Structure formats: structure tokens, C-alpha cells
């Protein structure tokens, strides 16, 4: 339908019942990934090199591992062993299966990609992804309709609201995630409206450092710096206060929410700074 693929992120406003359902879906998606990976390792062994050698000897280097049919079989077995997975929205579990399959393919193609690992509660961002049926529009005004979860209201800018409600916009999938404080929905859409970027006819290379201080070095040997020392000091301060509290107490929970706000603020400021700098 559209010639431009774009991503739009909106903030969701959930009811208490929907929040419980969302958190269940996050957990079931993570559990599905771990169950499929565990069944695959139990069948072919834990050593990835031995696994690659078996497939290369049988199918040659052109074959991708593992096959979707195998993972789908593991998914059906997991649903029988864990009945609560049947209560979860089905396409989100299928997307977890497809993501694992893609991870195996990437690792098989290049050594730059790590082998698939188990998802932990602490290090994995809670999320799930739903596909959109053809000729279905999940957005109406500022309301998003999700399967199994019903209608959810969201807030965003007027520009993005008009884009999501445009009849020329096609929805590919929706990713819902949780940052520790709020729930968000990221739309993958196809549209005829491109992002308005002015053409400067100039080329410049940028190397963004991976540390939290936001160093950026250009090909013209120009350095840019974004100061997040205050955020880092506040994170240390709140961590120090939490260490003096009993874990799980009322004050500890308040400090935990305050700490998450500082983490999110530091991340958002750094991402916004990098986006604007590379844009300019």
C-alpha cells in the first residue's frame, strides 16, 4: 500500500485488568522462547558447534537451522505441557517462535551474531508482538484494539495521530513493551508520507560511542559531548538510599520507582540528543 516503512511509538493507558493481562502476556512470551530453546538443546545437544556440524553434514551449508516446522512442533508440545499458554494471545507466541528462528539463522550466517540465549526476567525487556490481519484497522481515533486485550486508549502527538488514522496507512505489526513504569505500543506501518528530512547534499561520517556519556566523533574530527553526570549521581544516590531500606518495604518500593524514572530519563535524554545531533 505504502512505499515508506515507518515506526510510531505511543503511550498506552491501561485499566487494572488490562495491566494484569499484559504482564501475563509478557511472561508467557518469555516462557515460550525459553521452552523452545530448551527443547531444541535437549534434542540436539547444548554445544552449538556440534549442532552446526550435524546440519552441515546432513543438509549442507545452505540449510538454515532450525526449521520452522521443528519449532512449531516444540510450541505445540509446550502448549500441552503448560496449559496457561493456551490462554495467551496466539500470534504473540508465534512471533516469539519466529524471533528464535531468526536468531538461529543469523548465528548460522555470521559469527558476529551470538547464539540464542535464554531470556531472564532481569535482563530482558518485557514485550510481545501481535500481527495484524489483512484489511483490519486496529486504530480508531486514540483507541487501539488488541486481540485478547480489548480496546486500549493511547496518547501521542497530533501529527502521529493523523498518520495512524489515515486510510492510506497499512499496519504490519504492533509491539507492546514495558519500561518499568509505563506501557508503550510501537507500530510498524507502511505509508505514502515520508519523514520530512531536508537535503543538504553533504556527507559526513559519525561514530557514536557506546558509553553513557554520549561521545560522538565525526569524520571531520569534531567531537560532541552530552553530559549525564547529574543523572549518574542521582542514580548512585537513590541506590544508596535503597541499600539502607528493607527490600520490599513501602519506602523501598517508592525508591525503586524513583530509580526507574532516573534510568528512563537518562536513556531518553541520550537517545534524543543522538537523534537530533545525527539529524543536524
- The greatest distance separating any two alpha carbons of the chain, rounded to the nearest whole angstrom, comes to 60
List the chain pLDDT tens, one digit each, 280 residues: 567 888 899 999 999 999 999 999 999 999 999 999 888 888 776 555 555 555 545 544 444 577 888 888 898 999 999 989 888 888 999 999 999 988 888 888 777 888 888 998 888 889 999 988 877 889 998 999 998 899 999 999 998 999 899 888 889 899 999 988 899 999 998 888 666 667 777 777 777 665 555 567 777 777 777 778 888 899 999 999 999 999 989 999 999 999 999 998 988 888 887 777 766 6
The reported pLDDT for the residue numbered 60 is 46
pLDDT tens figures, 241-261: 999 999 989 999 999 999 999
- Do residues 232 and 241 touch, judged by C-beta distance below 8 A? no
Q: For the CA atoms of 99, 101, 106, 109, what is the dihedral angle to 10 degrees?
A: -170
Give the three-class secondary structure for 47.
coil
Cα gap 47→38, rounded to integer Å: 12
What per-residue string of b and e applies to 31-45 under the rule 16 or more CB within 10 Å gives b? bbbbbbbebbeeebe
Please state, as a whole number, how many other Cβ atoms lie within 10 Å of the Cβ of residue 79: 17
pLDDT tens figures, 188-216: 988 886 666 677 777 777 776 655 555 67
Amino acid at each position: 500500500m505504502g512505499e515508506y516503512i515507518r515506526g510510531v511509538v505511543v503511550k498506552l493507558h491501561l485499566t487494572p485488568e488490562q495491566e494484569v493481562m499484559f504482564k501475563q502476556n509478557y511472561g508467557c512470551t518469555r516462557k515460550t522462547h525459553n521452552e523452545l530453546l530448551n527443547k531444541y538443546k535437549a534434542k540436539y545437544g547444548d554445544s552449538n558447534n556440534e549442532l552446526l556440524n550435524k546440519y552441515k553434514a546432513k543438509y549442507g551449508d545452505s540449510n538454515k537451522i532450525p526449521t520452522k516446522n521443528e519449532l512449531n512442533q516444540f510450541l505445540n508440545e509446550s502448549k500441552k505441557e503448560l496449559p496457561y499458554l493456551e490462554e495467551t494471545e496466539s500470534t504473540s507466541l508465534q512471533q516469539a517462535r519466529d524471533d528464535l528462528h531468526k536468531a538461529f539463522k543469523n548465528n548460522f550466517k555470521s559469527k558476529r551474531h551470538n547464539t540464542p540465549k535464554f531470556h531472564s526476567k532481569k535482563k530482558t525487556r518485557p514485550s510481545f508482538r501481535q500481527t495484524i490481519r489483512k484489511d483490519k484497522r486496529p486504530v480508531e481515533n486514540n483507541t487501539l484494539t488488541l486481540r485478547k486485550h480489548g480496546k486500549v486508549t493511547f496518547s501521542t502527538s497530533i501529527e502521529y495521530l493523523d498518520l495512524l488514522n489515515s486510510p492510506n496507512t497499512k499496519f504490519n505489526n504492533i509491539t507492546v513493551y514495558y519500561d518499568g513504569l509505563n506501557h508503550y505500543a510501537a507500530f510498524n506501518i507502511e505509508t505514502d508520507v515520508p519523514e520530512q528530512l531536508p537535503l543538504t547534499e553533504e556527507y559526513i561520517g559519525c561514530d557514536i560511542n557506546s558509553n553513557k556519556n554520549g561521545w560522538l566523533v565525526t569524520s571531520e574530527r569534531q567531537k560532541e559531548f552530552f553530559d549525564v553526570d547529574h543523572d549518574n549521581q542521582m542514580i548512585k544516590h537513590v541506590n544508596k538510599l535503597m541499600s539502607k531500606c528493607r527490600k520490599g518495604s513501602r519506602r523501598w518500593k517508592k525508591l525503586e520507582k524513583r530509580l526507574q524514572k532516573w534510568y528512563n530519563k537518562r536513556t531518553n535524554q541520550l537517545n534524543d540528543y543522538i537523534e537530533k545531533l545525527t539529524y543536524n
